[in-house]
């Protein structure tokens, strides 16, 4: 069930640049979303469920997330401000306009596009009942992120990341634990300016990641990088607000669809 | 099984050989036989690795069944002892089991007992996620959910107090001399006590961090808003002197107050009667203390409690002592006098006597001879 969340989503939403032969999610391999044989008695029920799950994937912006933010909002939240030119990461070059007064300026057109894609993916994951883990190691915003997670019914980890949390999960937690289906990094660096261990671990376990990458971060292992400022409180509050609204919207939509299915089935 | 298989194969081979001599067996019917090699393995391969399995886990149904059996057994026991099954408590159970199964074993834990399954089977942590696999707690993936959620709550309160401060500043009512929380006579909960409360293991650094956050909360002017929350983490220190049993003050027919107390030191046992409105006479075992204790040191031991309290000439002491040697007898008498004095002396004086060491029984005994 957990595996089924992501297969359909990734097949549709991933761009053509990524090759998708066989998806293995949490150790189980699936070649198509509807591979199982269903009993005829529950056929109509499962057909309705499949319609609920598959129809949103056919639409480009099913949850209308483009109305949540404009480029002007991003500018006013100072998302375009990066670090100093000397701190610039080699791979962040394409996402930057350049530098002004020695400060790197992030291209907000690209940011808007990436953010739209990231929010869309998050919404689809939340719609299908996936577990979303919000991660950041910035102590300034730890409380904010934990509150955001609490308010949208998802999970947060803004504390010291113990070694085998993802890779050694059956021993760190209990056997049979379900790992997160999406990890959102509000800041990809930890307190000693090294890349957060969770990015590498998530890539190892095939858990997709969304990450806010600043001009001194490495965007390579992140599935949906969003170039933007991760140091200003205004910017962080905006990201938290956006993700919270996306997740709540997606979950409300799912509840609505379940209710409609219930009504149509009883009718 | 392997041996019989071998034998079977060998017999087929032999049959083929013999058939080959006399009868021509059609080729299709002949099954190509490979030579069989017997492999010897030790039984340790089939044994379960018990150490790797970890502590034994019990299912909830098993524990429920045990609880049921316990309740039924309790009623049977009550009927056996001819008591009311409804009001049969754990103490009654212990008493009945000790009566029905008398045991001469010295180790109390090895004797037969009948206790509620909750106390016998180790508590296991409940499953922390629902049917769909989603954990219940939002900080589950950190590994230490209760501890981090506690830190989250403390920080939440700090922020709330800061917002309150800002509001008061805006209104112009900000003052630094607000009601402070009284912290004297209490201490922070120890790491073990917090682990017990959280049902989780925390490290020393985690504990220090928690205490730091609580101190920060206390340092703010309006911390009295969160008084009950902070006091949950403080333990009242009990006043030590209140633990002492003060002997009752008795009055003899003449109206003179007196108190009786006992004392022990090594193997010496002493009993003292302290009479008020006396003149400082001390009689031990019927003799004057000067005769009974020729050594000065022992007499000093007798007089020290009275000297300390400043009631030297006030009391008449009548004592009996037996056992051990002269120093131990003097020590036993001293303890008995101090205890008897407790009923004549105020609370503050009791604490002073305790701190002077007058009320502590000397635990030193003779060590046995070793070769």
pLDDT 10s digits, A112-128 = 999 999 999 999 999 99
Specify the pairing of strand A182-185 against strand A132-135. parallel
Local structure of A97: helix, strand or coil: strand
> In the predicted model, what is the mean pLDDT of residues B201-206?
92
Provide mean pLDDT across the span B79-91.
92
Instruction: Classify domain B250-355 at the CATH class level.
Output: alpha beta
Q: What stretches of A128-225 show up as alpha helix (H) in DSSP?
A: 142-152, 169-172, 197-205
**Which residues in chain A have Cβ-Cβ distances shorter than 8 Å to B144?**
159
Share of chain B above pLDDT 70, in %: 88
Higher pLDDT, B306 or A40: B306
DSSP state of A44: H
Asked if the model's pLDDT at residue B118 lies above 90, the reply is: no
- Which chain B residue shows the shortest CA-CA distance from A157? B142
Establish if B140 touches chain A: CB-CB under 8 angstroms.
yes
Q: CB–CB of A157 and B139 under 8 A?
A: yes
pLDDT of residue A40: 54
Q: Point out which residues pair with B273 in neighbouring strands.
A: B260, B318
Per-residue confidence (pLDDT) for residue A7, from 0 to 100: 56
Contact status of B142 with chain A (Cβ, < 8 Å): yes
- The DSSP code sequence of B337-350 is HHHHHGGGS-HHHH
Question: A164 to chain B: nearest residue by CA?
Answer: B143
Helices A108-127 & A233-266 angle (0-180, nearest 10): 40
Give the tens place of pLDDT for each residue, A170-200: 888 888 889 999 999 999 999 889 999 999 9
pLDDT the model gives residue B21: 47
Q: Which two tokens stand for residue B89?
A: 């408590």
Least confident range of A25-29, B129-133, B168-172: A25-29
Best A2, A26, A143, A201 residue to mutate vs chain B (most B CBs within 10 Å): A143
| A143, A156, A162 member nearest B155 (Cβ) | A143
Q: Judge whether A266 is closer than 8 Å to chain B, CB to CB.
A: no
Q: In this predicted structure, what is the pLDDT of residue B347? A: 84
Half-sphere exposure of A14 (CA within 13 A, CB side): 17
Q: What is the mean pLDDT of residues B1-23?
A: 47
User: Is the Cβ pair A157, B132 closer than 8 Å?
Assistant: no
Q: Taking residues A93-101, what's their average pLDDT?
A: 92
Query: Residue B116 CA to chain centroid, in angstroms?
Result: 19
Any chain A CB within 8 A of the CB of B244?
A: no
Residue A143 Cα, gap to closest chain B Cα (Å):
7
**How many residue pairs bridge chain A and chain B with CB atoms within 8 Å of each other?**
51
Read off the pLDDT of residues A51-89 as tens digits, 9 standing for 90 and up: 888 999 999 999 999 999 999 999 999 999 999 999 999
Which of left, alpha, beta for B277 (phi over 0: left; psi -120 to 50: alpha)?
left
Check whether B190 has a pLDDT greater than 80: yes
User: What pLDDT shows up at residue B36?
Assistant: 82
Q: What is the pLDDT of residues B16-34, one digit of tens each?
A: 454 444 444 455 555 667 7
Q: Does B148 touch chain A (CB under 8 A)?
A: yes
Q: Which residues 6+ apart lie within 8 Å of B289 measured at CB?
A: B282, B283, B299, B302
Interface probe, candidates A25, A156, A181, A233, chain B, greatest B C-beta count within 10 A: A156
**Who has greater pLDDT, B13 or B325?**
B325
Q: Is B170 helix (H, G, I), strand (E, B) or coil?
A: helix
Give chain B positions within 8 Å (CB) of A149.
138
Q: For residues A164 and B124, give the distance between their C-alpha atoms in angstroms, rounded to a whole number.
A: 23
Structure tokens at A198: 């969770």
Mean pLDDT of A96-100: 91
Q: Is A159 on the interface with B (CB under 8 A)?
A: yes
For B44-90, give the secondary structure using H, E and C: HHCCCCCHHHCCCCCCHHHHHHHHHHHHHHHHHHHHHCCCCCCCCCH
B213 CB neighbours in chain A (<8 A) are none
pLDDT of residue B26: 52
Residues B134, A177: C-beta atoms closer than 8 Å: no
Total length of chain A: 267
- Distance CA(A231)–CA(B91), nearest Å, equals 64
State how far the alpha carbon of B42 is from the alpha carbons of A219, B52, B105, B321, in Å: 55, 20, 41, 73
**Residue environment code for B136-157, b if the CB has 16+ CB neighbours within 10 A, otherwise e:** eebbbbbbbbebbbbbbebbeb
Nearest CB among B139, B143, B148 relative to A165 is that of: B143
Average of per-residue pLDDT values in chain A: 85
What pLDDT does residue A101 have?
A: 93
Give, rounded to a whole angstrom, the gap between the first and last alpha carbons of chain B: 62
- Report the residue from B134, B138, B155 with minimal CB separation from A156: B138
The pLDDT score that the predictor gives to residue A1 is 45
Nearest alpha-carbon partner for B273 in B125, A226, B281: B281
CB-CB neighbors (< 8 A) of B148 in chain A = 159
The pLDDT score that the predictor gives to residue A4 is 52
Residues of chain B within CATH 3.30.230.10 domain(s) are 250-355
Q: A157: which chain B residues are within 8 Å (Cβ-Cβ)?
A: 139, 141-142
B177 min Cα distance to partner chain A (Å) = 29
Band the pLDDT of B227: cuts 50, 70, 90: confident
Give the pLDDT score at B59. 81
Query: Which of B253-259's residues contact partners 24+ apart within 8 Å by CB, and which partners?
Result: B257/B344, B259/B340, B259/B341, B259/B342, B259/B343, B259/B344
On whether any CB of chain B is under 8 Å from the CB of A157, the answer is: yes
Average model confidence (pLDDT) for chain B? 85
Nearest residue of chain B to residue A178 (CA atoms): B133
Secondary structure class of A189 (helix, strand, coil): strand
Which one is predicted more confidently, B197 or B96? B96
DSSP summary character for residue B242:
G
The residue of B134, B141, B152, B163 whose CB has the most chain A CBs within 10 angstroms, and thus the best one to mutate to test that interface, is B141
DSSP A181: S
C-beta of residue A199 within 8 angstroms of C-beta of residue A209: yes
Q: Is the dihedral of CA B44, B48, B50, B51 positive or negative?
A: positive
Is A159–B129 a contact, with Cβ atoms under 8 angstroms apart? no
In this predicted structure, the answer to whether residue B73 has a pLDDT above a threshold of 90 is yes
The pLDDT score that the predictor gives to residue B48 is 77
- What is the pLDDT, as a whole number, of residue B121? 84
Nearest-CA distance B150 → chain A (Å): 12
Which residues in chain B touch residue A134, judged by CB atoms under 8 angstroms apart? none
**How many Å apart are CA A115 and CA A229, to the nearest integer?**
13
Q: Which of A106, A109, A120, A108 is nearest to A68 (CA)?
A: A120
Q: Using CA atoms, how far apart are residues A35 and A37, in angstroms rounded to an integer?
A: 7
Q: Which of A2, A133, A154 sits opposite B133 (nearest CB)?
A: A2
CB-based contact (8 Å) between A173 and chain B? yes
Taking CA–CA distances from B148, the nearest residue in chain A reads A159
Describe chain B by its helix, strand, coil percentages, rounded to 5.
50, 10, 40
Interface of B with A in 107-136 (CB under 8 A): 125, 127-129, 132-135
Does residue A234 register a pLDDT over 80? yes
Residues of chain A with C-beta less than 8 angstroms from the C-beta of B128: 173-174
Q: Give the residue-averaged pLDDT of A100-122.
A: 95
Asked whether the predicted pLDDT for residue B130 surpasses 90, the reply is: no
Query: Could you give the domains of chain A?
Result: 70-259 (3.40.50.10490)
């Amino acid at each position: 069930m957990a595996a089924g969340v992501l297969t359909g989503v990734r097949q549709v939403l991933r761009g053509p640049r990524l090759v998708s032969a066989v998806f293995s999610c949490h150790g189980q391999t699936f070649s198509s979303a509807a591979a199982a044989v269903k009993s005829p008695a529950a056929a109509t029920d499962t057909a309705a469920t499949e319609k609920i799950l598959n129809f949103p994937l056919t639409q480009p912006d099913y949850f209308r997330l483009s109305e949540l933010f404009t480029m002007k909002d991003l500018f006013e939240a100072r998302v375009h401000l990066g670090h100093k030119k000397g701190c610039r990461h080699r791979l962040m070059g394409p996402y930057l306009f350049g530098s002004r007064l020695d400060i790197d300026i992030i291209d907000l057109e690209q940011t808007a596009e990436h953010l739209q894609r990231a929010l869309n993916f998050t919404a689809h994951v939340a719609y299908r009942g996936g577990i979303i883990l919000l991660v950041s190691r910035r102590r300034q915003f730890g409380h904010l992120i934990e509150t955001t997670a609490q308010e949208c019914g998802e999970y947060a980890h803004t504390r010291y990341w113990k070694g085998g949390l993802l890779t050694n999960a059956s021993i760190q937690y209990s056997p049979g634990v379900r790992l997160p289906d999406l990890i959102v990094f509000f800041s990809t660096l930890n307190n000693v300016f090294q890349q957060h261990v969770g990015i590498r671990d998530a890539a190892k376990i095939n858990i997709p990641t969304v990450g806010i990458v600043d001009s001194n971060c490495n965007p390579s292992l992140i599935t949906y990088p969003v170039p933007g400022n991760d140091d200003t409180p205004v910017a962080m509050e905006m990201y938290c607000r956006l993700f919270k609204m996306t997740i709540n919207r997606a979950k409300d939509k799912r509840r609505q669809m379940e209710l409609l299915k219930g009504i149509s089935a009883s009718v | 099984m392997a041996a019989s298989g071998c034998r079977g194969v060998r017999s087929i081979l032999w049959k083929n050989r013999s058939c080959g001599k006399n009868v021509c067996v059609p080729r299709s019917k002949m099954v190509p036989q490979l030579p069989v090699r017997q492999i010897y393995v030790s039984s340790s391969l089939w044994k379960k690795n018990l150490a790797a399995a970890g502590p034994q886990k019990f299912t909830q149904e098993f524990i429920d069944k045990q609880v049921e059996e316990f309740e039924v057994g309790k009623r049977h026991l009550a009927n056996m002892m001819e008591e009311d099954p409804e009001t049969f408590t754990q103490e009654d159970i212990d008493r009945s089991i000790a009566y029905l199964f008398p045991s001469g074993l010295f180790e109390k834990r090895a004797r037969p007992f009948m206790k509620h399954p909750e106390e016998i089977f180790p508590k296991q942590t409940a499953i922390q996620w629902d049917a769909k696999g989603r954990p219940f707690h939002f900080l589950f993936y950190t590994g230490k959910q209760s501890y981090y959620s506690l830190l989250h709550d403390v920080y939440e309160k700090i922020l709330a107090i800061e917002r309150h401060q800002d509001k008061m500043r805006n209104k112009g009512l900000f003052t630094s001399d607000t009601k402070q929380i009284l912290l004297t006579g209490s201490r922070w909960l120890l790491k073990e006590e917090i682990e017990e409360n959280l049902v989780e293991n925390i490290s020393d650094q985690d504990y220090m961090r928690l205490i730091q956050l609580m101190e920060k909360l206390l340092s703010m002017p309006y911390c009295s808003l969160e008084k009950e929350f902070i006091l949950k983490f403080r333990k009242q220190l009990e006043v030590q002197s209140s633990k002492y049993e003060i002997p009752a003050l008795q009055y003899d027919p003449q109206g003179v107050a007196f108190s009786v107390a006992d004392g022990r030191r090594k193997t010496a046992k002493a009993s003292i009667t302290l009479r008020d409105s006396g003149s400082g006479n001390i009689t031990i075992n019927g003799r004057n203390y000067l005769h009974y204790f020729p050594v000065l040191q022992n007499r000093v031991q007798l007089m020290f409690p009275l000297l300390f309290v400043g009631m030297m000439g006030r009391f008449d002491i009548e004592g009996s002592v037996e056992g051990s040697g002269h120093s131990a007898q003097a020590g036993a008498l001293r303890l008995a006098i101090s205890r008897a004095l407790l009923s004549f002396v105020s609370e503050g004086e009791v604490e002073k006597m305790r701190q002077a060491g007058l009320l502590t029984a000397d635990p030193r005994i003779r060590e046995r001879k070793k070769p």
